């Protein structure tokens, strides 16, 4: 849930390293 909240706050940053972070969080 925290990840989704961050994506809305900074969708640009999330799009760049969001995928990498999401993959790590999801495992």
- Global pTM value: 0.28
Signed CA dihedral, 21, 22, 25, 26: sign only: negative
Q: Tell me how far CA of residue 6 lies from CA of 13, 18, 27, in angstroms.
A: 9, 9, 18
8 A C-beta contact, residue 23 and residue 3: no
What is the predicted pLDDT for the residue at 8?
66
Q: Domain ranges for the chain, please list them.
A: 1-27
Chain Cα centroid distance, residue 8 = 9
| Phi, psi values for residue 9, rounded to 5° | -75, -45
Nearest to 15 by CA among 25, 24, 2, 6: 6
1-27 residue pLDDT tens: 666 666 666 666 666 667 777 778 777
């Amino acid at each position: 849930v925290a990840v989704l909240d961050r994506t809305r706050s900074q969708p640009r940053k999330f799009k760049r390293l969001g995928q990498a972070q999401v993959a790590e969080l999801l495992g």
